[in-house]
Amino acid sequence: MEIRPLEELRAADDLSLAFNPWGLGGRMRPENAAEFQQRQIADCDLAEGVAAGTRDSFERLRTVFAYGVLCYDVYTMVGDQALLIYEQALRDRFMEWCAGTITFRLPQAPDVSYTVTSYDDVKKRSDRMTRQRAKLVVATHAIEFNGMLHGLRLWARTAGLLRGRRSRAVEDALAKLRNYVAHPSGHHVDTPVGAARTVRDLAELINQLWGQATSDGRLYPAPLHREIAVLSWNGSGRARMEPADALTAPDPTEDQESDEYQHVVVRAIPFIPGSRWNDAHWAEFDTRYETTRFPMEYLWGPGTREEARAWLEQERPEVDSVDFTDRVFLVQDHERLLPPMRPAVAAGLPDDERVGIWHAVRADFPDDAFAHVRGSRDSGAGHARRPGDCPACSAEVLGSGSYNEALRAAAAVLGPIEAVQLPSIRLPLSIFWPDRP
Ligand SMILES: [Zn+2]
């Protein structure tokens, strides 16, 4: 190879300078590029308890990332290495979880346990046991486990260490990339943008494995803070959402116009400019269907502004936080497909509204559940129809059939479902869910 002088090694790589906060185009100055790229992953720190081996690998990765400014190829190597650390993190977490003992279940035989002191032990033992058709015992389940990445992923989900439906689809993609990195079949080049995202995703995954959700995370977000809000609308289809505090201020509308407005009090994710969690569907609120993207809880109404203010002063409802991932929805198919419903609301329906076919689906968002059920009507689209993870989208099928069958499938994962009966309220205009009975 050609020997390059130190000065040249220290010089910024032209390709790296082409990436700037506005995408490809203008070139950055080397010192700005160095700072800008490091900032992309500066805040993804690991949680306290993360295993030392995983932590060392991750910190080394962050260190090397900074050198991408000098050598563009570093971004590809960082992306590849991140995928290998993904597997290392699962192995390290597995060793902590098993605490030195793994148990297998054989067909028609008592469970057998083995002592393991390293992941190599786990792998050798699991490989042998898999050939005898034995399964690894994980709490109340027994799973296929041969010690490879596929088994580790199944274990982490079964043990309840990873959560979320959309994050599962990302885990799928990471596993495919990881296998590609381990057995490359061609040439690929990562960009600083791609490498930074992989590092950030990896940090979220490691933290979640060790029990820490990421505040404002993309994959494993911490529960979202909900505040008390007031929704109001008038006969001409105008709607607004305000924080409850705004009711003590003078009415924003003219007096006579204000009389036309109806008000309901809800718990909702507050609108924060620039936040990735703003609910674009807030104005679709409906007590019967899950037509907002994030869970919005009905508290009071409808009534006038004055009545809403009096209720708020009397009751002083508390703020809370919600985990919106892994929600269970029921989708009713009767003459047409209706929007997803919360199981508690479905449980409170009168007999004559329980008709049709019902689907129990787990998803992060109601639109994901709906899109899956709609997609599963077409047998060529590849959506799962039997219980399990859908290979075509980020939904999980829990069950379907009659109303009772679907509700039972929901109760199997949620526990007993307590019926709620809410006054029927919805905002008048709908863009995203216009087809409601
Ligand atoms: Zn699907």
Q: How far is the CA of 373 from the centre of ligand 1 (A)?
A: 7
330 C-alpha vs ligand 1 centroid, how far in Å?
A: 14
34 CA to centre of ligand 1 in angstroms: 42
Distance 297 CA to ligand 1 centre (A): 27
d(CA 393, CA 384): 9
Task: Please state, in angstroms and rounded to a whole number, the distance separating the CA atoms of residues 47 and 58.
Answer: 12
DSSP assignment, residue 238? -
pLDDT given at position 97: 98
Burial 272-296, CB ≥16 within 10 A → b, else e: eeeeeeebebbbbbbbbbbbbbbbb
Phi/psi-derived region of residue 321, left when phi > 0, alpha when psi is between -120 and 50, beta in every other case:
beta
Q: pLDDT tens, position by position, for the chain (437 residues)?
A: 888 888 888 888 888 887 776 666 677 888 888 888 888 888 889 999 999 999 999 999 999 999 988 998 999 999 889 999 999 999 999 999 999 999 999 988 999 999 999 999 999 999 999 999 999 999 999 999 999 999 999 999 999 999 999 999 999 888 888 888 777 766 677 888 889 999 999 999 999 999 999 998 999 999 999 999 999 998 888 899 999 998 877 666 555 555 689 999 999 999 888 888 899 999 999 999 999 999 999 999 999 999 999 999 999 999 999 999 999 999 999 999 999 999 999 999 999 999 999 999 999 999 999 999 999 998 889 999 999 999 999 999 999 999 999 999 999 999 999 999 999 999 988 888 988 88
Question: How high is the pLDDT of residue 256?
Answer: 53
pLDDT number for residue 15: 82
How far does residue 383's CA lie from ligand 1's centre (Å)? 4
Alpha helical stretches, state H, 254-342: 255-258, 305-315
Q: How far apart are the first and last CA of the chain?
A: 72
Residue whose entry in the numeric block shows the structure tokens 């300078």 = 17
CB-CB contact of 300 with 422 (8 Å): no
The rounded Å distance from CA 361 to ligand 1 centre is: 10
Asked if 323 and 223 touch (Cβ cutoff 8 Å), the reply is yes
| 376 alpha carbon – ligand 1 mean position (Å) | 7
CA of 432 to the centre of ligand 1 (A): 20
Query: Cis omega before residue 302 (within 30°)?
Result: yes
Distance, CA of 59 to CA of 85 (rounded, Å): 11
Residue 351 bridge partners (DSSP): none
- Which residue from 214, 192, 189, 188 is spatially nearest to 203, judged by alpha carbons? 214
| Ligand 1 midpoint to CA 389 (Å) | 8
Distance 332 CA to ligand 1 centre (A): 16
Directed axis angle between helix 166-182 and helix 149-158, to 10°? 160
- Do residues 173 and 189 make contact, with C-beta atoms less than 8 angstroms apart? no
Q: Are 40 and 68 spatial neighbours (Cβ–Cβ below 8 Å)?
A: no
Q: How far is the CA of 175 from the centre of ligand 1 (A)?
A: 19
Q: What is the Å distance from ligand 1's center to 391 Cα?
A: 6
Long-range contact pairs involving 135-143 (C-beta distance under 8 Å, separation at least 24): 135/104, 135/105, 136/102, 136/103, 136/104, 136/105, 137/103, 137/104, 137/105, 137/111, 142/105
Hey, what are 308's tokens?
Answer: 């809403």
Q: What's the confidence (pLDDT) of residue 180?
A: 80
Q: Any idea where the domains of the chain sit in the sequence?
A: 1-219, 224-322, 327-414
Q: Which residues pair with 300 in a beta bridge?
A: 265
Q: Rounded to the nearest whole angstrom, what is the distance from the C-alpha of residue 371 to the centroid of ligand 1?
A: 7
Cα(379) to ligand 1 centroid in Å equals 11
- One-letter identity of residue 43: D
Distance CA 390, CA 233 (A): 39
Q: How many CB atoms lie within 10 A of CB 363?
A: 27
∠ CA 286-289-295, rounded to 5°:
80
H helix intervals, 13-67: 14-17, 30-39, 52-65
* 394 CA from centroid of ligand 1 (Å): 6
Distance between Cα 384 and ligand 1 center (Å): 6
CB of 292 closer than 8 Å to CB of 277: no
State how far the Cα of 70 lies from the Cα of 37, in Å rounded to an integer: 11
CA of 381 to the centre of ligand 1 (A): 9
What separation in Å is there between the alpha carbon of 356 and the centre of ligand 1?
Answer: 20
Supply the pLDDT for residue 422.
Answer: 95
What is the per-residue pLDDT for 38? 86
Neighbours of 313 (CB within 10 A): 11
Tokens standing for residue 89: 């993190």
Compute, in angstroms, the gap from residue 121 CA to the centroid of ligand 1: 37
Tell how far the Cα of 268 is from the centroid of ligand 1, in angstroms.
28
Distance CA 229, CA 270 (A): 8
Cα–chain-centroid distance for residue 432? 21
Q: How far, in Å, is the centroid of ligand 1 from the Cα of 387?
A: 11
Residue owning tokens 């905002």: 427
Cα of 359 vs centre of ligand 1, distance in Å, is 12
Q: With contact defined as beta carbons under 8 Å apart, do 265 and 228 qualify?
A: yes
Angle at 96 between CA 92 and CA 100, to 5 degrees: 110
**Token pair listed for 120:** 């190599």
Q: Distance from the CA of 338 to the center of ligand 1, in angstroms?
A: 17
- Cα 326 to ligand 1 centroid, rounded to whole Å: 14
Q: How far is the CA of 417 from the centre of ligand 1 (A)?
A: 25
- What is the residue type of 226? R
Please tell me the distance between residue 409's alpha carbon and the centre of ligand 1 in angstroms. Answer: 17
| Distance of CA 393 from the midpoint of ligand 1 (Å) | 4
Extract the runs of DSSP E, i.e. beta strands, from 106-197: 112-115, 135-138, 141-143
